[in-house]
Structure 1
Amino acid sequence: MRIAHSSELVNIRAAAGSSADYASIKDEIETGRALLVEYQHCYCVLRIDSDGLCVVCAQGKNLRTIAPYIVRLAKRLRTHSIVFHTQSRALSRLLSRYNFQYEMTDTSGYFVYRMVINYGQ
């Protein structure tokens, strides 16, 4: 997994949602509050929040291959959990097959999933 340049942000445009959400994500990356990362053509925007490592958005065919690296990063950062927000029902089904548990649907209609980090493993 590598930190991608902000010029590669176009690779998450569809996953970002609205133009306003895309602009907000772009601002977070440009100001250093979030990182754009890439692994095998899968792009993710990651941010540290008070409740853990937040996957702001992800786009690409290899989400399954980048996932272990995101978990390792969360453990290295000693976060309590990984939080994922999505409006995609297909991605919701994929996340529920792993250790992500549905938490709620936020006021914007995003499904919120959380994986609690187990440091015993």
Structure 2
Amino acid sequence: MAAVIRYPFLLSHEAEAAATEGRKPRPVAVGFRVPRPAGDVLLLFPITSKRPSSGRFAVEAPEIEKRRAGLDADLPLWIILDEFNEDVIGRSFYPEPEPPLGRFSRAFFVPLSKRFIARRESIQGFRRYD
């Protein structure tokens, strides 16, 4: 299951404008945890209430999944999968030491993960560590 946490996600348009920090903490899905010698890397996907433009790789979260994830079930919310941030557990200043807001179910998130992996080469990611 993919945990949902608050994180100051650096959106691609913010990075292109030379920002180094996300504008605000927002809910993100922790999509992957990749083991690395210097610390496990998290791949984080933003969740937004702003309808993505056509052509974006984004999925609207169903009401039941929003409830499971601890999100407002009355708002339309999308998981953006064509951009992500990478951050290292234990070396990052960003993730708060709080419990997750909630979690997306395995049945919902695993197919999204497989679609992400299939498109990985064409997706823009931002490293939030050195």
Report which structure shows greater RCO (CA 8 Å, sep ≥6): 2
> Same-fold call, TM > 0.5?
no
TM-score (norm 1): 0.30
Larger helix percent: 1
TM-score normalised per structure 2: 0.29
